[in-house]
């Protein structure tokens, strides 16, 4: 028997990004976009700022010398701003217009400028020597599809830096369980990602861990990869 939902329950579902029945049957990227459109106003909270701060510190250790960079899935612009402060010329892309607008406001408020894109077709035909993709692959059950989209945007000798939840970390599994009622996240292992990257014609150069920077506990697994030569 169906239960009636109170107005309070419906409100809570929207507040925490829970997936309404009307969202079923749409693509993964459309679901991700819908959830983050709802999350944009409250995404920057104490938890995301804290985890993001430590992730960014470790990610920036992989970043090579100054160049043009695509921040793929820039969210509210935390990584974009970190790259701009390092002297990079940044193109910030996100599927969610609401998240991208938060990023634009953050960058302008900090006194920097970047190119902001929300239409994926605007990326077609362009390439970058560096692509950073932080906190995006978390939400893809099959990450190879997104990596295969990103790969053509990378110059032949370019570098891709991306993150996934670390399957060895209890924190990542707590994160995964907490996400089940909203937008599921998928912890990954290093051997699994080696296979996924190989299918996307990418090869791991190195990897690291963040929050904390320990292989058996760090919430985030950070990869640095390059295209496999033809």
Other C-beta atoms within 10 Å of 158: how many? 21
Domain edges within the chain: 38-227
Fold (CATH) for 38-227: Rossmann fold (3.40.50)
pLDDT in tens, 152-211: 999 999 999 999 999 999 999 999 999 998 899 999 999 999 999 999 999 999 999 999
β partners of residue 92: 71, 116
pLDDT in tens, 96-135: 999 999 999 999 999 999 999 999 999 999 999 999 999 9
Lowest mean pLDDT among 25-29, 58-62, 70-74, 154-158: 25-29
Specify the pTM.
0.85
Residues 6+ apart with CB under 8 A from 180: none
């Amino acid at each position: 028997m169906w239960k009636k939902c109170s107005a309070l329950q419906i409100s809570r579902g929207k507040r925490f990004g829970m997936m309404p029945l009307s969202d079923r049957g749409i693509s993964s990227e459309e679901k991700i976009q819908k959830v983050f459109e709802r999350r944009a106003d409250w995404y920057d909270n104490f938890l995301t700022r804290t985890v993001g701060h430590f992730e960014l510190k470790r990610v920036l250790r992989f970043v090579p010398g100054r160049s043009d960079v695509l921040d793929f899935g820039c969210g509210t612009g935390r990584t974009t701003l970190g790259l701009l402060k390092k002297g990079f010329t940044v193109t910030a892309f996100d599927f969610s217009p609401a998240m991208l607008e938060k990023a634009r406001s953050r960058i302008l408020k900090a006194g920097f400028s970047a190119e902001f894109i929300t239409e994926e077709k605007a990326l077609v035909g362009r390439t970058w020597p560096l692509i950073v993709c932080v906190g995006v692959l978390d939400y893809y059950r099959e990450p190879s599809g997104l990596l295969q989209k990103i790969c053509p945007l990378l110059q032949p000798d370019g570098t891709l830096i991306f993150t996934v939840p670390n399957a060895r970390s209890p924190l990542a599994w707590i994160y995964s369980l907490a996400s089940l009622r909203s937008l599921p996240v998928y912890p990954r292992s290093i051997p699994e990602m080696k296979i996924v990257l190989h299918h996307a014609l990418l090869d791991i150069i190195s990897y690291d861990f963040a929050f904390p920077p320990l292989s058996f506990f760090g919430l985030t697994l950070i990869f640095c990869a390059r295209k496999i030569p033809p």
